[in-house]
Amino acid sequence: MAKAKIFIDGEHGTTGLQIRERLAARDDLEVLSIPHEERRNPDYRAKLLNGADIAILCLPDDASREAAQMLADAGNTTTRMIDASTAFRTHPDWVFGFAELEPGQREKIASAHFVSNPGCYSTGAIALLRPLVLAGLLPPDYPVTINAVSGYTGGGKNMIAQMEDASRDDAIAANHFEYALTLKHKHVPEIVSRAGLSRSPIFTPNVGRFAQGMLVNIPLFTDHMTGDATLASIHHCYDAHYAGQDVVEVASLEDVANAPRLDAQEMTNTDRLKIYVCGTAGTGQVNLVASLDNLGKGASGAAVQNMDIMLKG
């Protein structure tokens, strides 16, 4: 059987490098690569795009749209795409690449021609919100607030260089900073669309001075939810939703009660996500937390997961 041809368009960026690393030991794939001297040659790039079975786009939004247009202009109906940018995450012709989103999503990815990889913050938020909306425990118009902290690798090469420059001591290289102060972060539209919300959440992202890892935090008042919303029923909802797969793990209520704190780097170097339902029964409050690697399930790991699903069909 011929090996599947995979082209990582943007393989020298943070996400692309991580995908390349994950595929390096695979003997079932042929990874296509642009030689250094051809990196600025659009014809060579178009050749690899059109020659691939799956092209994984690790590019800025406009460059991802350009790549998709290259295939359209060539009349290519065989190369499938996985896009890691924000360009197509709410596009009706692109399947959202979160296999655990809801029943049937994995099958949609398997047969899709175009798959849009979720953002890192939105992966955690949607993992927490979508099961509750589907179960009727969270009304779509609930005034959701999302607080999150990520490792600095999510900011790309410039931020990595700034954070790892030991000589710097300024706001950019601070130990911790908050951003998106206008409340217009690029992940909000996909959170609204893919979680099934009708009201935009207030989203406060933060970057810590650690390389990889992420915590996404959503506090809720159960008396403003619907159905029998309690600490136990919310935990049961996640257990039922994520049963039968090994990518998303739900911590037991006992483990949460005995945990003194949560570590944003807990899931570093894994492609998994872990959910915590925190709080005290009977108080009417829960604090939901998703822990993941921003470059794992939040980016490169998810892209490889989607690729494997698509190849297996």
Claim to verify: residue 148 and residue 253 sit in the same structural domain: yes
CATH number for position 29: 3.40.50.720
CATH number for position 214: 3.30.360.10
Claim to verify: residue 88 and residue 166 sit in the same structural domain: no
Claim to verify: residue 20 and residue 36 sit in the same structural domain: yes
Predicted confidence (pLDDT) per residue in 199-235, tens digit: 999 999 999 989 899 999 999 999 999 989 999 999 9
CA distances from 272 to 9, 130, 184, 269, 275 (A): 24, 17, 27, 9, 10
- Residue 177 is predicted with a pLDDT of 83
Predicted confidence (pLDDT) per residue in 124-174, tens digit: 999 999 999 999 999 999 999 999 999 998 877 777 777 777 556 655 556
Average pLDDT over residues 25-40: 90
- Residue 36 is predicted with a pLDDT of 80
Question: Known catalytic residue: 58?
Answer: no
Claim to verify: residue 262 and residue 157 sit in the same structural domain: yes
First to last CA, the chain: 15
Q: Concatenated DSSP letters for the chain?
A: -PPEEEEEETTTSHHHHHHHHHHTT-SSEEEE---GGGTT-HHHHHHHHHH-SEEEE-S-HHHHHHHHHHHHHTT--S-EEEE-SSTTTT-TTSEE--TTSSTTHHHHHHH-SEEEPPPHHHHHHHHHHHHHHHTTSS-TT---EEEEEEEGGGGHHHHHHHHT-TT--SSTT-SEEE--TTS--TTHHHHHHHHT-SS--EEEEEEESSSS-EEEEEEEEGGGS-SS--HHHHHHHHHHHTTT-SSEEE--HHHHHT-S---TTTTTT-S-EEEEEES-TTSSEEEEEEEE-TTIIIIIHHHHHHHHHHHH-
Q: Look at 27-31, 48-52, 176-180, 265-269 and tell me which has the smallest mean pLDDT.
A: 176-180
> What's the domain range around 240?
120-294
- Residue 162 is predicted with a pLDDT of 75
- Residue 313 is predicted with a pLDDT of 79
Claim to verify: residue 220 and residue 98 sit in the same structural domain: no
Tokens representing 85 are 């940018």
- Residue 174 is predicted with a pLDDT of 61
Residue 281, pLDDT > 90, answer yes
Claim to verify: residue 158 and residue 91 sit in the same structural domain: no
Average pLDDT over residues 105-134: 98
- Residue 170 is predicted with a pLDDT of 57
How many structural domains are present in the chain? 2
Active-site choice (58, 120, 237, 278) = 120
Tokens representing 73 are 């202009």
- Residue 157 is predicted with a pLDDT of 74
Claim to verify: residue 52 and residue 98 sit in the same structural domain: yes
Q: Look at 50-54, 169-173, 269-273, 276-280 and tell me which has the smallest mean pLDDT.
A: 169-173
Question: Of 33, 81, 83, 32, whose CA–CA distance to 58 is shortest?
Answer: 83
Residue 299, pLDDT > 70, answer yes
Predicted confidence (pLDDT) per residue in 191-208, tens digit: 999 999 999 999 999 999
What pLDDT band is residue 286 in, cutting at 50, 70 and 90?
A: very high
Claim to verify: residue 246 and residue 281 sit in the same structural domain: yes
Mean pLDDT computed over every residue of the chain: 93
